[in-house]
Amino acid sequence: MINGIVYRVRTGVPWRDVPERYGSWKTLYKRFTRWQEDGTWARIEAMLQADADTAGD
């Protein structure tokens, strides 16, 4: 599921054009928007940045 969201964000294709191997585009879209609204993506980004800072990247 996360790979499907990453695929869509990376390529910029419309949600309906995400390959079926990632699951239903509706499920991907709903999960993406729910996580955007509740701040999950911001928390993930903050953790990744903190890890990179710790590693000196």
Q: Could you report the per-residue pLDDT of 3-43, keeping only the tens digit for each? A: 999 999 999 999 999 999 999 999 999 999 999 999 999 99
Residue labelled with tokens 């499920």: 27
Res 44: pLDDT: 95
| Eight-state DSSP code of residue 18 | S
Res 9: pLDDT: 94
SS3 content of the chain, % helix, strand, coil (to 5): 80, 0, 20
Res 57: pLDDT: 78
Cα–Cα dist 20/40, whole Å: 24
| Eight-state DSSP code of residue 22 | G
Could you tell me if 29 and 35 are in contact, meaning their C-beta atoms sit under 8 angstroms apart? no
